[in-house]
Chain A
Amino acid sequence: MHYILVRYGELTLKGKNRNVFERQLIKNIKTSLKQLELNIHKDRNRIYIDEVPTEKVELVRERLKLIPGIHSFAVAKVCSNDLDTIKAVALEQYDTNHPEFKVTVKRIWKGYDLVSNDVERQVGAHILIHNDGLAGMKVKIKKPDQEVKIEIHQDKAYVFARHEQGMGGLPIGTAGRAIVLLSGGIDSPVAAIEAMKRGLRVDCFHFSSPPYTNEKAFEKVKDLTKQLHKYDRSIKLYDFHVADLQIALNRNCKDSLQVVLLRRMMMRICDRFMDELGAGAIVTGENLAQVASQTLGNMSIVNSTVDRLILRPLLTYDKFQIIDLAKKYGTYDISIRPFEDCCVLFLPKSPATNAKLKVVLEEETKLMYNTMVEEVEYDVFNALDLEASDSVLENYLD
């Protein structure tokens, strides 16, 4: 049997409303570990997961690493409190990859035969003797590579291994909701996760242009949403079919303004759904000066489309920084699949890098976009739909 202790970082800085954040974090952990039927509870500034069977530990570790709001966690082994057992378990938990260590003992039950210091010395000696010859092996009290922690209770003892880093940030759901524009590229899924890390619950809006866009491109977006779903268990994907809008823009408006005009249409579509979804902001993966549509001039023209808060978590990031994050979040390999999305359809030869609002507004008068925005068709996929198989092969195997 194992036992897991979860610490939360930034949350502890909160004042009177800290409870709200703690409750949400526990709720999120419970949702994430739902099928595992574990006992999760809070005690002082920690969350505990009791009696985790050995075969479930790996899965729990994987899940905890993806929950925003968790600063770190440690897996402990539960054993009987006699000294020989504690020694043996501590040796087993000792990670030889981080040789410098110290042992800390806390007696929750003060009636234990030995004082903490004695247990620390004996367990430390036991680890030293059994790792004789290991390079760099020594006891280090200040800033050790690892701390073997032991908690002694009346009927049992907990032996902790190294603390593992969590995602940090704030629990999803504590900062409200937002719409994320998910393209299928590298940036937008990273922006989504960065937004989640600040406590936002997100809905993904994707724009595709069937029948002109490749179905594989949409598969990619579904796979990205599945990856985001690992972080936020209630995520939904909205797929808007904007081919008609794009064709109308292409026929009626200036070639160089196509990208800016399309993005303004996207904002209008978001605007239509924000109140219904309770979303307080639109999150985009825009990165200053990365491409033609992401100049200050163009972004302000897109901004002025609707009176909504637009968040750009990646605005100032370096491209390599974004790629590193995408790899860390597990979205990179999906994003680099070579399928194109709707933005590439009717891509102007030379897009305007600094469009003028006056000209853009003039261009927009050339088409009745309001009805088109109102009537745009869309599909909604929730987590279950995403998991459901639309595999060709599976159909033949039934």
Chain B
Amino acid sequence: MYYFDYASTTKPSTQVIDLYTKLLNDVFEHPDGNNKAGKLMLEAQKMITSSLQLNSPYEVIFTSGGTEANNLAIIGYAKNFTSSKHFITSKYEHSSADSCFKHLEALGHSVTYLNVTTDGQVDYDQLRQAITDNTVMISIMAVNNEIGTINCPQTIKQIIKDSGRDIVYMSDAVQAVGKVNYDYNHLDIITVSGHKLYAPKAIGAVIYRKPLKLVNTIYGGAQQEGIRPGTMCPCLSAVLAYAIKNEMVNLQATIEHTQLLTEQFVTYIENHPKAKLNVVPMASTVSVSFKTKAQSESLITVLNNMDIYASTRSACSKKLNVPSRTLSSIGLSIHEIDRSVRFSFSRNTDVAEINYLCSKLDHILEIY
């Protein structure tokens, strides 16, 4: 299997699986009790904040994954307000964040969706002008899931500072943690997801600066301070923490490794007459549009038949039959969007795999 779809999901690492099975065998108590399971949850929270090198106090709330984390972060923060407020986000957020803002609009709040420049970053000038007296939150993803570009937290924080207003800076960091250098201390609310980090699916977290308040979005008991009712799996919480720690410890090695692979693949694409780089990638995700008659769905099918796995775009939104918001936000035509494929690499990818991919692409592009 030649897997180039790490931005959509990863296989849990052996270490993570080991820890998870050991914990599942041993720790079964209710995590809200004064017991091993409860302690495990506390330790997992600590491990997350220290691995992300946060140097002021942050709370950690575990969720069922990235989508719920973004919901809790955005809706849960908006629920603090009884009157209508103004939110700022971008046009290329992941659908789990984007849909929350659509919902907030339906509730009577106003939302500004920032443009994205052709280099794949949000338009900082527009952000500067969009801030109003009524703005309460800016939500801009750390690394884009489809094109692998990075939004600079220092710049955004500075813009908020310059505005002189008390605005919460939230960021969907699902594609950033363990993949790129990022100073999370600038963020007030951070969301992460386990399965992008070699942990299992169905676990994620919202990490937010004290003393911010989030209001529960689902209803139930007092678990996790009532902010996220429902009995959370302490073992999953612990493996999420462990996976984050592992990825953060190995971050520099991962970056060096994936940078070489990304450069190798980018050079190949740039020199291929039938391929075009959609944007210069800043992380290990490369978005390419092919100058073929066939659309990317067919290309993917052929690639799959050759045991190669990539995706047309964010796996979470491909079932919606609308063109990718990300790709249209950076100015691609519908024709190009329909012929775009996302390749994403990781520390597990090696040069031989990239060579294989390139040779097969040569072959396919010759025919199509």
Are the CB atoms of A397 and B242 closer together than 8 Å? yes
Asked if A393 is at the interface of the complex by the 8 Å CB criterion, the answer is: yes
Partner of B40, one of A214, A216, A333, A392: A392
- Given A392-B27, A393-B44, A393-B47: A215 touches B238 (CB 8 Å cut-off): no
Report B235 CB to chain A, min CB distance, Å: 10
Q: Which A residues are in CB contact (< 8 Å) with B26?
A: 396
B164 contacts the other chain (CB 8 A)? no
A-B contact count (CB 8 A): 25
Tell me the complex Cα distance, A181–B27, Å. Answer: 36
CA A216 – CA B26 in complex, angstroms?
21
What are 18 A-to-B residue pairs whose CB atoms are below 8 Å?
A214-B34, A215-B34, A216-B34, A216-B38, A333-B57, A391-B43, A392-B27, A392-B36, A392-B43, A393-B40, A393-B43, A393-B44, A393-B47, A393-B238, A396-B22, A396-B23, A396-B26, A397-B19
- A residues with CB within 8 A of B: 214-216, 333, 391-393, 396-397
Q: Quick one: closest B residue to A217, CB to CB?
A: B34
Q: How far is the CB of B72 from chain A (nearest CB, A)?
A: 22
Contact partners of A333 in chain B: CB under 8 A: 57
Residue B318 CB within 8 A of the other chain: no
Set of chain A residues within 8 Å of B23, measured between Cβ atoms: 396
Q: How far is the CA of A333 from the CA of B49 in the complex (A)?
A: 15
Question: In the complex, how many angstroms separate the beta carbon of A75 from the nearest chain B beta carbon?
Answer: 20
Say yes or no for B39: interface residue by CB 8 A criterion: yes
Using CB atoms, name the residue of chain B closest to A390: B39
Contacts of A214 in B (CB 8 A): 34
Extra pairs beyond A215-B34, A393-B47 (6, CB < 8 Å): A392-B27, A392-B39, A392-B43, A393-B242, A396-B19, A396-B23
Residues of chain B lying within 8 A (CB to CB) of residue A397: 19, 242
**A392 contacts across to B, CB distance below 8 A:** 27, 36, 39-40, 43
For residue B348, give the distance in angstroms from its CB to the closest CB of chain A: 21
Provide the residues of chain A in CB contact with B36, threshold 8 Å: 392
A396 to B34, CA, bound (A): 19
Leading 10 A-B pairs by shortest Cβ distance: A393-B43, A392-B40, A392-B39, A396-B22, A392-B36, A391-B43, A214-B34, A393-B238, A215-B34, A396-B19
Give Cα distance in the complex from A396 to B234, angstroms.
14
**Shortest Cβ gap from A309 to chain B (Å):** 38
Q: How far is the CB of A275 from chain B (nearest CB, A)?
A: 37
Residue of B nearest to A391 (CB): B43
Taken residue by residue from 17 to 36, chain B's Cβ proximity to chain A (1 for < 8 Å, 0 otherwise) reads as 00100110011000000101
How far apart sit A101 and B347, CA to CA, in the bound complex (Å)?
51
